[in-house]
Structure 1
Amino acid sequence: MGMDIRLARIDDRLIHGQVATAWSKETGISRILVVSDEVAKDQLRKFLLKEAAPPGIKSNVISVHQMIDIYHSDLLKNEKVMLLFTNPQEVEALVNGDVSLRSINIGGMRFTEGKHMVTNFISLDEEDVRAFAYLADQGIEIEIRKVPANRKVYLMELLEKEKFC
């Protein structure tokens, strides 16, 4: 297949200091793809995210459908890529579009009404838990780490321990 997906990360802040420095160095990427239907429609956010990419790393903001099309083409053949998402439902849609992922890293999902705090930087609602359970059922590792140096915490184990599942 074409692109080399080095990291798939859910972080509703998208491109920010930790992503721009620690994760891009750790993964050796050449491109960041923000995959979000909502952000892809917002010209100002798209512009700001492109500007936030570290020097020497290209960035694009694309819809889920565009990502599926690009994945199944040779457009980014041999490119080392980081995928950034705001929520697990968009990751689920990619997997349903036959995009192969081995693991998902969760960096942050902010608290909003109707969500329950799982950690001090991850809050989930029932739809999030359902999507993560689906991804886990597909054999995808789901781990929580803000930065590469942190110890991996496995989301599904945490949810079982906290009686979220």
Structure 2
Amino acid sequence: MGNPNILMTRIDNRLVHGQVGVTWTNTLGANLLLVANDSAAQDPVQQNLMDMVVADGVQTRYFTLQKTIDIIAKAASHQKIFIVCKTPQDVLTLVKGGVPIKFVNVGNMHFSEGKKQIHKTVSVDDSDIAAFNELIALGIPCEVRRVPDESGEMIGDLLKRS
């Protein structure tokens, strides 16, 4: 098995926008932005919109979760990979599929019916909480931090308080 150089994995329900495509990518020094999302992988229009907000010199890939699991080990060592997913459930799917994710950055999880807000930009329901708890149990820190220069807060602490 290859050992892909995954710099960070982010959960963001908007997937790629300016904060992700430029700010985080530059801060991390990533040169490959991998969007692991089943619907985006099939949607060229969405891909084009996201490509527009990605820093120059950064490649983008739009893979289904399964394709990500299948080929991540083939990544070249010079590829500095920043993975973006939409939900903690999707991240958990990748982890269970063998993607060596060591750290999860939580950006935006918008409020919707049946979710409770645990942070300015993060709302969760029971399924989200279960997925985060499983990631944490697997030893993968999950930290809410919208932008790099903000101090982060651990999801586990936020869940305990809510």
Gap runs ≥5 in structure 2? none
In 2, distance between residues paired with 1:47 and 1:16?
A: 12
**Amino acid across the alignment from 1:61:** Y
In 2, distance between residues paired with 1:125 and 1:38?
A: 21
Matched-pair contact (CA < 8 Å) for 2:144–2:155: yes
| Cα distance per residue 1:65-106 (max 9 Å; x no partner) | 01011113x244431010001101110111111111111000
Structure 1 residue 43 displacement after superposition: 2.5
Q: Which residue of 2 aligns with 1:30?
A: 31
Percent identity over the alignment is 32
Deviates more, 1:39-48 or 1:25-34: 39-48
In 1, distance between residues paired with 2:111 and 2:46?
A: 21
In 1, distance between residues paired with 2:147 and 2:18?
A: 10
What TM-score, normalized by structure 1, do the two folds share?
Answer: 0.92
Matched-pair contact (CA < 8 Å) for 1:3–1:78: no
Secondary structure, counterpart of 2:52 in structure 1: helix
Gap runs ≥5 in structure 1? none
Runs of 4+ in 1 over 4 A off after TM superposition: none
Secondary structure, counterpart of 1:52 in structure 2: coil
In 1, distance between residues paired with 2:19 and 2:44?
A: 23
In 2, distance between residues paired with 1:25 and 1:47?
A: 20
Structure 1 residue 21 displacement after superposition: 2.4
Secondary structure, counterpart of 1:147 in structure 2: coil
Q: Which residue of 2 aligns with 1:69?
A: 70
Matches within 5 A, 1:12-31: 12-31=13-32
RMSD: 1.3
Matched-pair contact (CA < 8 Å) for 2:18–2:54: no
Deviates more, 1:27-36 or 1:109-118: 109-118
In 2, distance between residues paired with 1:107 and 1:40?
A: 21
Q: Which residue of 2 aligns with 1:84?
A: 84
- Aligned CA distance change for structure 1 residues 45 and 11 (closer, same or farther; 3 Å): same
Secondary structure, counterpart of 2:15 in structure 1: coil
Q: Which residue of 2 aligns with 1:58?
A: 59
Matched-pair contact (CA < 8 Å) for 1:2–1:78: no
Matches within 5 A, 1:110-149: 110-149=110-149
**Amino acid across the alignment from 1:149:** D
| Cα distance per residue 1:102-148 (max 9 Å; x no partner) | 11000101111111111121111111101001100100000010111
Secondary structure, counterpart of 1:105 in structure 2: strand
What TM-score, normalized by structure 2, do the two folds share?
Answer: 0.94
